Amino acid sequence: MARAQRTSIPNYGLIQTIGDLLPGVDHRMCIKHMYNNSKKEHSELTLKDRTWATFRTSYVNLFAFHMEQLKDVNDGAYKWLIENTNPKNWSKSSSRTTPKCDILLNNIYESFNSTIL
């Protein structure tokens, strides 16, 4: 029987492991968690509408427009989003066209994460 082996590579987490095990699968990030994490440092109410509009847009030009608006409202929140995330993982405008699900929040992720963590 094979044993699980712990890796000694620093910062080699779940995202990288899943990427190695399932190379053709896209990693998507939960928008609610991303927003809540950014809200810890940038708690302005005006950011909520700007942030969700940016997350929801499916057109590249409209995504750039919303990102510029977010930058105008709060440059720190814009920088946090750029430095800590990859739009390919959360933006509908950057995702492949094969996903057919329009849901940005998914309780299946919550169940999976609560089981493995």
Residue 86: pLDDT above 70? yes
Please report, rounded to a whole number, the percentage of residues in the chain having pLDDT higher than 90.
Answer: 8
What are 26-68's pLDDT values in tens digits? 777 777 777 777 777 776 767 778 888 888 888 899 999 999 9
Kindly list the distances between the CA atom of residue 77 and the CA atoms of 2, 54, 71, 116, in Å, as whole numbers in the listed order: 45, 12, 7, 30
* C-beta separation of 72 from 47 below 8 A: no
Q: What is the mean pLDDT of the chain?
A: 74
* pTM exceeding 0.75: no
